[in-house]
Chain A
Amino acid sequence: MSDTLFHRVWNAHAVRTLASGQTQLFVGLHLVHEVTTPQAFDMMRQHGWRVAFPERTFATVDHIVPTLSQRRPFLDVVAEEMSVALERNCREAGIRLWTPDSDEQGIVHVIGPELGLTQPGMTIACGDSHTSTHGALGAIAFGIGTSQVRDVLASQCLALDPLKVRRIEVNGRLSRGVYAKDVILTIIRRLGVHGGVGYAYEYGGTTVDAMTIDQRMTICNMSIEGGARVGYVNPDETTFAYVRGRRYAPDGDAFVRAARWWKSMASDADARYDDRVAFDASSMEPTVTWGINPGQSVAVSEPIDAEPDDEALAFMGFRPGARVRGTRIDVAFIGSCTNGRLSDLEAAAEVVRGHHVAPHVKALVVPGSRGVSRAAEARGLHEIFVDAGFEWRGAGCSMCLGMNPDKLEGRQVSASSSNRNFKGRQGSPTGRTLLMSPAMVAAAAIAGEVVDVREMLDPVPA
Chain B
Amino acid sequence: MSHQPSAITHVAGRALPLRGDDMDTDRIMPARFLVSISFEGLERHLFEDDRNADPGHPFNDARYGGASVLVVNANFGCGSSREHAPQGLVRAGFRAVIGESFSEIFQGNAVMLGMPCFATDRRSVERIQELIEQQPHTMVTADIATGAVAAGPLALTATLPRAIRDSFLSGQWNPTSTLLDRFEEVRAVAARLPYIRGF
Contact = CB atoms under 8 A, between A and B. Distances in A.
Bind each other: yes
Interface of A: 12-16, 18-22, 24, 26, 28, 35-36, 38-39, 42-43, 46-47, 49, 52-53, 56, 63-64, 76, 78-79, 81-82, 85, 119, 121-122, 127-129, 131, 143-148, 150-151, 154-159, 161, 193-194, 197-198, 224-225, 227, 229, 250, 254-255, 257-258, 261, 293, 311, 401-403, 420, 422-425, 427, 429-430
Contacts of B167: 20, 22, 159
Interface residues of B, number: 67
Contact of A155 (B24, B39, B75, B180): B180
B111 to A, nearest CB: 9
Given A403-B32, A427-B32, A159 B199 contact: no
Given A82-B37, A258-B195, A129 B32 contact: no
Nearest to B52: A429
12 contacts: A19-B172, A26-B186, A26-B190, A121-B195, A127-B81, A143-B105, A155-B180, A194-B74, A194-B103, A311-B20, A423-B49, A430-B53
Contacts of B180: 49, 154-155
Nearest to A128: B81
Contacts of A49: 176, 180
A36 B183 CA distance: 25
A96 to B, nearest CB: 16
Contacts, number: 217
A227 B103 CA distance: 7
Contact of A424 (B1, B20, B49, B74): B49
B189 A194 contact: no
B134 interface: no
B62 interface: no
Contacts of B32: 402-403, 427
Contact of B198 (A81, A224, A254): A254
Contacts of B30: 402, 424, 429
A262 to B, nearest CB: 9
A57 to B, nearest CB: 13
